[in-house]
Structure 1
C-alpha cells in the first residue's frame, strides 16, 4: 500500500445558503483513503454522508457549496478546480453510482442509448459496433441477464433493482481508480447484492480500485469495508477498522446504530408495539376491525394470479414474458405477509395488481370480500381509501412540484376528508410519527435526502388510516435508527388499528422483525410459503437457503 493516500479530505465544510443565512451540512470532515482500500461511511439520513461524497466530484445539489477545506485526489487539489478539468476526472478516474436509480435514468431514452452515451463520454469506445459491444459488456458485468435484449428496453420496464444495476455498470465502465457508491445496493436483493459487491471486491484486489461505500447497512459495512467512518450531524464522530468500530463502539451515537441494526437474531416486534400512536383513538370502526382480526378473517385472497407482458422486439414482433405465474396466497386480517425474492421475481408486479394499477392476465384477487377485477372505477376508488401503497422509489412517487405538506395531505383532499385546518393538523401528526421535523412541511422532495423522502411516502400512506397497506421496499432507503422507529410504528399501528400489511422487501433481516408469514418468489412463482420462523430456521428450498446465506454481515455483528 502506498504511503500517500489516493484521496485525502481535510477540514471539509459545506454550506447550503438560504434566506436566513446558511445551513452547514458538513463541518470539519477529515478522512484518508488509500489505493485499493474500501471505506464505508455510515450514519442516519441527513448526517452528511452523501453530501461529502458529492463534494468530491463537485456535484452538490441545489445551492450547496464548499466553504472551506481541501480535497486532494491522486495528488491533485479538487477544490477550486475548473469544470473542464473535473470533467476529465469524473467517470474516467472517479466513478459514481448515485442512490436513486429512477431519477438518474432518463425515462424517454432506452437503456442502451444511456449506457452507450456513458461509454462514449468516458472514451471507452467510439465506433458504433465497439460502443454497442462495450454497452452489452457493461450490463453483463453488472449482473443483468440477456444484456443485448435489455438494451432495447426503457427504465420503466426494469425493476428498481435492475435500474440500480444499470447505474452500477455505468459507474464501473471505465475501471476508475476510485468508485463512489452512494447506497449502491439499497434497491437490490441479497443475492444480486452479493454478486455486485463481489465484483467491487474483485476490482479492489485486481485493479487497486478504491471504493467509498455510503450505506445505512452496518452488516454490509462490516463485511465489505476495511475502514469505517461514522457521521452524525455533519461531523465524523468515530472512525477506524470496521469490525473494531462495530464490535466495540465508543461514541454513544455509534452504540445506538449498532443496537438498532436488524440481524438474523432479531425477533418479531410484539403486537403491543412501543411506538406512540398519535391521536389514534379506538373508534367503533377500529374496535370492529380488531374483532374481525381476532376472528381470523381473511383480508386479502389471491388465487392463480398471472401477468404476461408483451416485450417489444425487432420490427412489429413481440415476445410474451410471464412476470407472475399462477401465484396464490392469503393474508389474515391484522397480520403481515412478507413477499421476498430477487429483483425481477415478480414481487412488485403482484403489488401493482393488488392495488389495481395493473390488470391481471388471469386469476382472482379478493379484498375484504370484493373481487377487484369486477369493480368499476367508482368502487375501486372507494376501495383504495382502505388500501394504501408505499412505493419502492420515493423520488419517483412524490410530485416534485408539491411541497411536503401538500404531498402528505393529498390523499385526504382526494377523498374529501376534513377541512384545511384538520388536514394541516393531521400532516403535523404524521410528520412527527415518521420522525421528520415540522419545518420540512414547506420544503420540496428534491431538498430532502433519500431516507427523508421515503418517510414522507410512508406518512402519506398512513394519512387515511387505511385497513391494508402495501409496502414495496418501504424501509430500504432508511438508516437503521429510523428503520427501527418505522418498523415499531408499523407494529404499533397494526396492534391499535388491526392493519394488514403486504411487506415486499429484499432485506430478510427486516422480514424477521416485521412478518408473521413469508412467501418466497422466484421467476414469477411462489416456491416456498410458511411462518417466518419456519422459513428462517427450516428452509426447504435451495433458493431460500441461498437468500438467507447471502445476508451481509449477520454473523459478524452477532
Structure 2
C-alpha cells in the first residue's frame, strides 16, 4: 500500500509538451497539458482522434513512438518526475506501479505465442509470481477478472483464435495483473459489446474503491466517460480545453468543442432520438449540433422509407442464409482436438438496399458469419446466397468477380492494413487489382473517398503506424468504398471512431446507400448506432440467432432476455441530461 498522503496527487502533469520529429522539423502533438489524478480517482480524458489523448498517456510511462519526445513540462508520480527517469528506472514503474491497457490488441499481442504464455510472461516480469504453478494460477485468475469465464481453456489458444473483444480482454487482464496504483486504460472497451463493457468497467470501479487504484480512462464517448469517471478533461488539438466534475461538464459544457461532443455522443444521442423526431418541427432553440442529431435521425428515417420501398420492389434478397453452420477444430493437445460450433443453424435474409445489424457479445459468432459470407471461411453446412446465387460451389474466378461487388470493413484496422504500404497505395490497391481505370483515375478516386471519410490528402504518403486508431479505421472504410460495391460488410466499422467522425461516417453510409442502393450487413455491439443505421436486427448469442425483428420492434419491445440485457447495458442510461 502507498504511504502517500491521500490529499496529495498520485499523478501530476504540469505543462507537458510532446513533439514528433518529421522531415519538416518538430511537430507539436501535446501543448501545455496539465492534469491531476488523486489516489483512487478515475479521470476520463475525452476528445477526438488525434487530439493528443493517447500521446499524453504514452508520455506518462515513456512509451512514445521512436520519433516522439517530451520537450517540456513535468510528470510527477508520487512526487518523482517520470520524465527524468532512465530506462531501467522506468521499467520498474511500468506494470508494477502504472499499468497500461492499450487500444489496439492485435499490435500488442504476439501472434506466434499463445495467450497463456504472454499473460504469464507479464506476471513473471512484474515479479508477481515465479513458480510455474503459481504463475499459471494467477494467469487464469486475471483473465477471469477481465471477463473470460473459460480462462484455463483459452490459455492454450492464440490471438488469431480470439474475437476482437476477447483479445482486448486479454490486454485488460495483463494490465491489471500486478494490481498497479494507477491504470491507464486507452479505449479499453471500444472493441467490447455493452454487457462485457459494463462488466469490465464495473471491475475497474471495484479496483478503485477497494484497492485505492487510480484510473486514467481515455475514450471518445463523453457519455460513457461521465458515467464512469469523477472528473473529465476534454482535449482538442493537443490542449485541455475544459476540465472538471464529470456530471457538471456533461450537463453544462462551456467550451464549444465540448458542446459538440455532448451533442454527438452515441450513448446519449440514442436516448434523444424519439424526442428529437417529435420536436423536429420546433428546433429553433436547439444548438447547431443538436439540430444535426435531429437531422441525422430525420435523414435516416427518410432513407429507411426509400430502402423499404426499393426492397419491396425486389423479390430476391441481396443476402440469404439458410441453416448455416460453421464448426472449428480446437486443438486440445498434440494429437487431439475438439469441435467448436461458432455458427449454429443461422438463417436470415437481407432485402436489397437495406441494412441489417447483427448484434451480440464478443464470441457470439457475428464475425464468423461475415467471414462465411465473404468466403474467407467455408460453411460446414447450410446455404448462403448472394443475389439469389449459391456462393458455396463458386469457382475462384467467380469468387473474384463476387468480391468486386462485396467489400468488407473489418473490426481491427491495424490488422487489416498492410504496415509496409502507404495510405494512397492501401486505398488504391482494390482499384488496381480489379482493373479500375489508369493511374490518374485511380489517384482521383482515392482522393475522392479520402474526402468522404474526412481525412486530409496529406495522409496519402503516410503509413498506418503514423495514424491514430480512428484514422486507421477511416482508411479501412475508404478502401472498402473505393470500388463502389453493391454490398458492404461492416464489422464494428465505427467502434474505433470518435463520436464526431462516427456521425459523419454514419451519414456517409446512409447517403451512399440512398444514392447507390447499397446493402449493408452491419456487425456491431453498439446498440445506439444500431438504432440510427439499421432497418432490421438479428441478435446472436453463442452462435445462434435468439431474436430477429425490425429495429423499432427490438428497441421498443425486446422479447428475449438477452436482448433486454443488451439494451439495459447501454452506457449513459442512468445519467440525467436535464432540459
Asked if Structure 1 and Structure 2 have the same fold, meaning a TM-score greater than 0.5 normalized by the shorter chain, the answer is: yes
Deviations 1:93-145 (A, max 9, x none): 00000000011000000001100100100101001111111111111111112
Partner of 2:474: 455
> What is the correspondence of 1:418-437 to structure 2 with a 5 Å cutoff?
418-437=437-456
Q: Distance in 2 between matches of 1:457 and 1:445?
A: 10
Give yes or no for the alignment of 1:76 onto 2:95.
Answer: no
Deviations 1:158-178 (A, max 9, x none): 000000000000000000000
Q: Distance in 1 between matches of 2:447 and 2:563?
A: 42
The SS at the match of 1:162 is: helix
> What is the correspondence of 1:119-268 to structure 2 with a 5 Å cutoff?
119-262=123-266, 263-267=269-273
> What is the correspondence of 1:108-123 to structure 2 with a 5 Å cutoff?
108-123=112-127
Deviations 1:483-535 (A, max 9, x none): 00000000000000000000000011011110011100000000000011110
* 8 A Cα contact 1:270 1:491, kept in partner: no
Partner of 2:292: none
Q: 1:250 to 1:78 in 2, by over 3 A?
A: same
- What is the CA-CA distance between 1:270 and the residue it aligns to? 5.8
Partner of 2:383: 364
Name structure 2 gaps, 5 residues minimum.
275-295
Q: What TM-score does the superposition give when structure 2 sets the normalisation length?
A: 0.92
Q: 1:557 to 1:457 in 2, by over 3 A?
A: farther
Partner of 2:516: 497
* 8 A Cα contact 2:223 2:262, kept in partner: no
* 8 A Cα contact 1:274 1:492, kept in partner: no
Partner of 1:7: 11
Q: Distance in 2 between matches of 1:506 and 1:22?
A: 39
The SS at the match of 2:110 is: coil
Give yes or no for the alignment of 1:93 onto 2:97.
Answer: yes
The SS at the match of 2:419 is: coil
Q: What TM-score does the superposition give when structure 1 sets the normalisation length?
A: 0.96
Partner of 2:434: 415
Q: Distance in 1 between matches of 2:497 and 2:415?
A: 16
Deviations 1:234-264 (A, max 9, x none): 0000001111101111100011111111233
Q: Distance in 1 between matches of 2:84 and 2:457?
A: 36
Aligned length: 546
Q: Distance in 1 between matches of 2:369 and 2:549?
A: 18
- Greater relative contact order structure (CA < 8 Å, 6+ sep): 1
The SS at the match of 1:424 is: helix
* 8 A Cα contact 1:264 1:554, kept in partner: no
Partner of 2:354: 335
Q: Distance in 1 between matches of 2:311 and 2:525?
A: 30
Q: Distance in 1 between matches of 2:311 and 2:204?
A: 50
Give yes or no for the alignment of 1:466 onto 2:472.
Answer: no
2:324 to 305, 327, 335: 305
User: Which moves more between the two structures, 461-470 or 547-556?
Assistant: 547-556
- What is the CA-CA distance between 1:374 and the residue it aligns to? 1.4
User: Which moves more between the two structures, 389-398 or 138-147?
Assistant: 138-147
1:522 to 532, 541, 564: 541
* 8 A Cα contact 2:97 2:181, kept in partner: yes
Q: Distance in 2 between matches of 1:118 and 1:265?
A: 41
Partner of 1:394: 413
> What is the correspondence of 1:375-394 to structure 2 with a 5 Å cutoff?
375-394=394-413
User: Which moves more between the two structures, 239-248 or 448-457?
Assistant: 239-248
Q: Distance in 2 between matches of 1:374 and 1:384?
A: 15
Q: Distance in 2 between matches of 1:266 and 1:458?
A: 27
Q: Which runs of 4+ in 1 moved over 2 A?
A: 263-275, 290-297
Q: Distance in 2 between matches of 1:428 and 1:59?
A: 33
Q: Distance in 1 between matches of 2:297 and 2:433?
A: 34
* 8 A Cα contact 1:43 1:479, kept in partner: yes
Deviations 1:57-98 (A, max 9, x none): 000013000000000001111012101000000000000000
* 8 A Cα contact 1:273 1:492, kept in partner: no
